[in-house]
Amino acid sequence: MSTVAVTGTGIVCAIGADVPSFTTALRAGRSGVVGTADGLAAPITGWSFEDAVAGAPEPLRRRAVRAAARAPRPVRAAVAAALQAWTGAGLPGARIPGDRVGIVVAGHNLTARYTHELYRTWQERPAYLPARFALHVQDTDHVGTLSEVLSATGEGFTVGGASASGNVGIVHAARLVAAGAVDCCVLVGAVTELTPMHHRGFAVLGALAEPGGDPAAACRPFDQDRRGFVPGEAAAALVLERPAAAARRGAEVLATVPGYALGLDANRLADPDAAGQARVIRAALAAAGLAPHEVDYVNAHATGSRLGDETELASLHDVLGAAAGRPWVNATKALTGHCLGSAGVVEAVATVAQLTGGFVHPNPNLARPIDARIRFAGPGPEPARLRYALSTGFGFGGVNTAVVLARTADGG
């Protein structure tokens, strides 16, 4: 498998509107979970699109404002995260031909809240339905807007895999680059905005953590007192490139993606399967040429569900065997909430921040671990020189994914 390079990252979420603020929040173990009218959530608040793009180079900023200033909020957040990654990768002045730039958007059903909020308007005053409603209601509105802002004319599409969508996006973006279809690919994990009906549906399924006590302590991955997931909002982005192309333009390589895998359980339900998860983790490590004892860190899918967390730990024991207690293990969802379609990209950004920063972020709500054999991060940040990291993502319908991320040899 051809390795691809990560040269840029970006994020807008409940605990940070850019990568530096997000990294600071990770180190501090700061939670974005609060109580809302719909229940517990980790929403994006106090954020402005205009402020977010103000520092972008001209004419990039002008294109962003023209294309997205009046778009639905998830599209605006996607553009903001993509611009962070694009500028961080040094691409505004790189003169890469547009047809060598790809766009992949991870997530699906991205306009449910937008449609829900317009429904009353349509019922009462149908003439006031926005003229571009038919465009905005398509998931591909994200792809089209990002391509216009970045002048990208290469391949572009959306991919979905429920809660594994982010990792599915990483897999497909990496394949585009490795196959030579594009020189670089901008991958964006898009914001999932749930409607009250969605909240109720997840609650009926028994998947949601119910309100009670301190909201910041509600999401408790791997804890004996875990009680379900807390929805989060985030747009996150990666720029993936061929290492040789990045080297030619003198770009800093933040990390590499040497291996990944995706597989199904042949199961349409919300029943995680340890054997299926182990199969893709093992395949991702094999693709990266790694032995189990070489894994230094696991950013676990870990939603805080009763069955899901136990199943994931069983899969890690299956694959890592005697080395299961070696890598640090934490759960970013304890801080950001479960960002659903974008979760895998959020956690890739978090993993890159920890690889480059030499730390693992806390598990602040892990008071009574369900497995004493695992090396869980504690209540504070842990200094750690990490080389190889594993990030997992599992979705309803039996979608299993695993991505290996690696710190570059020079420590970058």
pLDDT tens per residue, range 300-351: 999 999 999 999 999 999 999 999 999 999 999 999 999 999 999 999 999 9
Claim to verify: residue 223 and residue 275 sit in the same structural domain: no
- Contacts of 249 by beta carbon, 8 Å cutoff, 6+ apart: 90, 94
Claim to verify: residue 367 and residue 305 sit in the same structural domain: yes
With CA atoms as reference, report the closest residue to 144 among 239, 86, 68, 235: 68
Among candidate residues 229, 255, 281, the one where a domain is terminated: 255
pLDDT score, position 368: 98
Tens of pLDDT, residues 362-399: 999 999 999 999 999 999 999 999 999 999 999 999 99
CB atoms within 10 A of CB 318: 16
Claim to verify: residue 125 and residue 23 sit in the same structural domain: yes
pLDDT score, position 411: 47
- Contacts of 139 by beta carbon, 8 Å cutoff, 6+ apart: 105, 107, 108, 109, 110, 111, 158, 190
Domain assignment present for residue 412? The answer is no
Containing structural domain, residue 267: 257-407
CATH code, domain with 367: 3.40.47.10
d(CA 238, CA 85): 6
Where residue 410 falls among pLDDT bands split at 50, 70, 90? low
Tens of pLDDT, residues 249-300: 999 999 999 999 999 999 999 999 999 999 999 999 999 999 999 999 999 9
Tens of pLDDT, residues 112-126: 999 999 998 899 999
- How large is the average pLDDT for residues 41-64? 96
Claim to verify: residue 239 and residue 272 sit in the same structural domain: no
Claim to verify: residue 34 and residue 85 sit in the same structural domain: yes
Total domains present in the chain: 2
Report whether 87 contacts 57 (CB < 8 A).
yes
d(CA 169, CA 157): 10
Amino acid at 344: G
Over 80: is that where the pLDDT of 412 sits?
Answer: no
Alpha helices, H only, 10-72: 19-28, 49-53, 60-68
Tens of pLDDT, residues 175-198: 999 999 999 999 999 999 999 999
Claim to verify: residue 110 and residue 48 sit in the same structural domain: yes
Over 90: is that where the pLDDT of 150 sits?
Answer: yes
Claim to verify: residue 188 and residue 61 sit in the same structural domain: yes
Among candidate residues 220, 255, 290, the one where a domain is terminated: 255
Claim to verify: residue 281 and residue 373 sit in the same structural domain: yes
Claim to verify: residue 227 and residue 312 sit in the same structural domain: no
Among candidate residues 255, 286, 315, the one where a domain is terminated: 255
d(CA 77, CA 46): 12
